[in-house]
Amino acid sequence: MAEYCTDPDCQFAFGTCDSSHTPAGPTTLNDPRPLLGKVTYDGDIYDCIENNVVALTYDDGPFVYTSQLLDILKSYGFKATFFMTGNNLHKGPIDETAPYPALVQRMIAEGHQVASHTWSHYSLSNITSDMRKQQMVKNERAIANIIGKYPTYMRPPYSQCDQASGCWADMKALGYHRVYFDLDTQDYLNPNSIENSKAIVKQILATPGSTDYLSIQHDIVQQSVANLTYYYFDLIKNKGWKGVTAGECLNDAPANWYRTPGGSTSTSVLTSRSTSTSSKATTTSKATTTTSKTTSKTSITTPKSSTSSTSKTSTSTKRFVVAAAAPTPTSGPACVVQAGQFCGTVSDFSDKQGCKVSAANCYLQALNCPKEAGKGHRNDCNHYTNICQKLNMYCTKCEDTCSKSGFNI
Residues 109-167: tens digit of each pLDDT: 999 999 999 999 989 999 999 999 999 999 999 999 999 999 999 999 999 999 999 99
pLDDT at 3 over 60: no
290: phi then psi, degrees, rounded to nearest 5: -95, -35
- Would you place residue 299 in the very low, low, confident or very high pLDDT band (cuts 50, 70, 90)? very low
Any catalytic annotation for residue 95? no
Which of 115-119, 230-234, 260-264, 330-334 shows the lowest mean pLDDT across its residues? 330-334
The residue from 7, 31, 42, 59 that is catalytic is 59
Neighbours of 75 (CB within 10 A): 10
- Would you place residue 30 in the very low, low, confident or very high pLDDT band (cuts 50, 70, 90)? very high
Closest alpha carbon to 165 in 321, 335, 312, 348: 312
Residue 349 has a pLDDT of 86
The CA distances from residue 266 to 8, 36, 248, 254, 361, in Å, are 36, 9, 19, 11, 37
Residue 311 has a pLDDT of 32
Residue 276 has a pLDDT of 33
Residue 401 has a pLDDT of 76
pLDDT at 270 over 70: no
Specify the 3-state DSSP secondary structure of 73. Answer: helix
pLDDT tens column, 64-79:
999 999 999 999 999 9
Any catalytic annotation for residue 212? no
CB distance 88 to 97 below 8 Å: no
- Would you place residue 13 in the very low, low, confident or very high pLDDT band (cuts 50, 70, 90)? low
The residue from 117, 121, 177, 218 that is catalytic is 218
Average pLDDT over residues 333-362: 85
- Would you place residue 6 in the very low, low, confident or very high pLDDT band (cuts 50, 70, 90)? low
Q: Give the separation between CA 255 and CA 260, rounded to whole angstroms.
A: 11
pLDDT at 261 over 90: yes
Classify the C-alpha dihedral 22-24-28-30 as positive or negative. positive
Average pLDDT over residues 206-211: 92
Average pLDDT over residues 243-271: 81
pLDDT tens column, 350-377:
887 778 778 777 877 877 787 788 878 8
- Is pLDDT larger for residue 331 or for residue 367? 367
Closest alpha carbon to 26 in 117, 150, 114: 150
Beta strand residue intervals within 261-313, DSSP E: none
Q: Give the separation between CA 132 and CA 124, rounded to whole angstroms.
A: 6
Cα 21 vs. chain centroid, distance in angstroms? 25
Which amino acid, one-letter code, is at 395? C
